[in-house]
Amino acid sequence: MKRNLFLLSLFGILSAVALTGCGSKGAPSEPGKPETASTAQPSGETEIEEGSSPTALPIDKLPASLKNDAFTYYGLGRSEPMLFEYAVDDKAPSEGSVTVKLIEVKDNEAKFLMERAGALAPLGNQEFVLKSDGLYSTMLAGSPIEPMSIEMPSKIEKGTSWSTSGKFKLPTEVEAKQSTELKVVGFEKVKVKAGEFQAAKVTGRGLLATAGKTTESTMTAWFAKDVGMLKLVIEAKDSEGKKAKIRIELTQ
């Protein structure tokens, strides 16, 4: 089976509900027109200039101690751009890409940069730190996530549960607070446009607060080992009763 990567942060995509009809005026950019975002780091850390694209380190620089389930189920072993479909409600789907780069290994931790283009560019680039206990999201669209939010624990099995939470700024400069409860409910075969895979099924509930509005969401996602996220479906409803459904699917 061809080894693919579809990497899309749960923390980042849950903020998409604020960029659809269930929140703000933001909208995805046209497919094929990447947008960039500043991912500047605090003093003393690797700094990435706005609009720059750092050279990726070879993945063999990653110590074996960090090749845990978070590494394999998030598909961090590949950094080639991958294509996917992004659809909101009944609108025609858009195409986008995600590129993930290993940019630093230090003190038994590894820093990764996620570069989004096309339909997902409005969500901004994102940074992660991979540790022995899991994968953490540290920055979204140049805005630090405080405190850093766990994306996935180091061990994935039926019944594994975790929560994400944090404050950050959306690419529209709107302040946001997000919290999500997630759980692995089992393993099953799932078919997407890229093929059929054995995957971990993750379900969850989230809460996003922006500009005086609160959005509740439910989500289902499928992750395959050494592949990454195959499919994500989010249904959201804000405090005014507006609804949105977001679907993201690996296409190749």
In a domain, residue 95? The reply is yes
Residues 78-134 have pLDDT tens digits of 767 778 899 988 899 999 988 889 999 999 999 999 888 898 887 778 899 999 999
Positions in the chain whose pLDDT score sits under 70 = 1-52, 79, 170-172
The DSSP element (H or E) to which 165 belongs, if any, is: strand 161-169
Q: Pairing mode, if any, of strands 94-106 and 143-153?
A: unpaired
Give the residue numbers spanning the domain of 237: 10-27+55-250
In a domain, residue 34? The reply is no
CATH of the domain at 125: 2.40.360.20
In a domain, residue 47? The reply is no
Here the tokens at position 139 are 């920055």
In a domain, residue 35? The reply is no
Residue 66, helix vs strand vs coil: helix
pLDDT cut 70: percent of the chain above it: 78
Phi/psi region, residue 51 (left: phi>0; alpha: psi -120 to 50; beta: rest), is: left
In a domain, residue 85? The reply is yes
Tell me how many domains the chain contains.
1
